[in-house]
Amino acid sequence: GVTRVQDKRQKERSLCQQVLERFDQQYSQELGDLWPSARAVLLDPHSWQYGVMLNRFTTVTGITQILQSQGFSTLLPSPRPTLQCYIHPYPLRFPSQAHRPGQLKQYYLLNAASLLPVLALQIRDGEKVLDLCSAPGGKALAITQCATPALLCCNEPDPHRRDWLSKTLESFLPQSLISRVIVSAQDGRSFGQSEAGTYDKVLVDAPCSNDRSWLYSCSSQQGEQRLKERARLPALQTQLLRSALSAVRPGGAVVYSTCTLSSSENCAVVETVLNDCPEADPEDLWEEIAIPLAKYFTFSPAHPGHGQTPHKPSLLGILVVPQPGKTWGPMFLSRIRRRK
């Protein structure tokens, strides 16, 4: 029974040796003692936990009861009661919901760490919000669970991913809200020029070398490709973050996030942009997010990979490192405010 299913799942995921070797080299240096246990989690997909985000636009009492009876509990303390996410201490998979014509889905499955960048945005009702790299749409949905923006612009240049994003939004959001949501197809790097100073809040959930998926199912040729692509990503990420800082109004905030542990795509990108933008100030998320949620996630102050930094490491951002029993992440997040 169970073991056979697991064997089958294990076979589908062949390990990418080159990527693992690169991770070992880099992360043993950057994460120190946290790497061996993080590595064990990344190499054991059966240990991965999943969060269940409820959709406040549907009736969820039945779902809530089922979750609670199975041992799920709510993740977030009450300041954001409308954003409800249930997690389980064990890697229990809750079934995903099929599309039902004319009916909204009641919940969305996600890595619970991906809610943290949305919490860091501190969305308020009536704000104009830009989700610069929006597909597949989980963070956009989380934004609408937190508050009702006056406008939510979900930007995604890739046509296939944009299609997927639109379907996700349609299957979770009521008509009244869909009218406030725009799906746009611009190149994120030039977005800030075309809509300078327009938004109150901007999320840049940047394309990154996704540590979870990159470890699996790739030929050695693909492994080499991935590592080459990895070296090119920081330049793109830097352009996207600059663009976001142009799109936000003075006094507004940008949250930059990735799902990689790599400091060259995390801290180093934030640092590069801060050094170029005198009007941008990093904000410390340690007290606001890491301390209250330390029971559920393993946080590490994100360290730049090179030499000393003028900024305090925890100011530049926080990193969620997957650990046994708290397999959430990788997730890096940083909040930058544009000076008034």
259 in catalytic set: yes
Residues 241-265 as b or e (16 or more Cβ within 10 Å = b) = bbbbbbbbbeebbbbbbbbbbbbbb
- For the stretch 267-283, pLDDT in tens is 999 999 999 999 999 99
Residues placed in the known binding site for S-adenosyl-L-methionine: 133-139, 156, 187, 205
On whether the pTM is more than 0.85, the answer is yes
- For the stretch 204-261, pLDDT in tens is 999 999 999 899 877 778 888 889 999 999 999 999 999 999 999 999 999 999 999 9
Q: Which amino acid is at 209?
A: S
Q: DSSP characters for 100-139? A: BTTB--SEEEE-GGGGHHHHHHT--TT-EEEETT-TT-HH
Choose the catalytic residue: 16, 208, 259, 267.
259
Residues placed in the known binding site: 133-139, 156, 187, 205
Q: DSSP characters for 189-237? A: HHHHHHTTT-EEEEEEE-----HHHHTBS--HHHHHHHHHHHHHHHHHH
Sign of CA dihedral 180, 181, 186, 192: positive
- For the stretch 239-249, pLDDT in tens is 999 999 999 99
Which pLDDT score, from 0 to 100, does residue 27 have?
Answer: 96
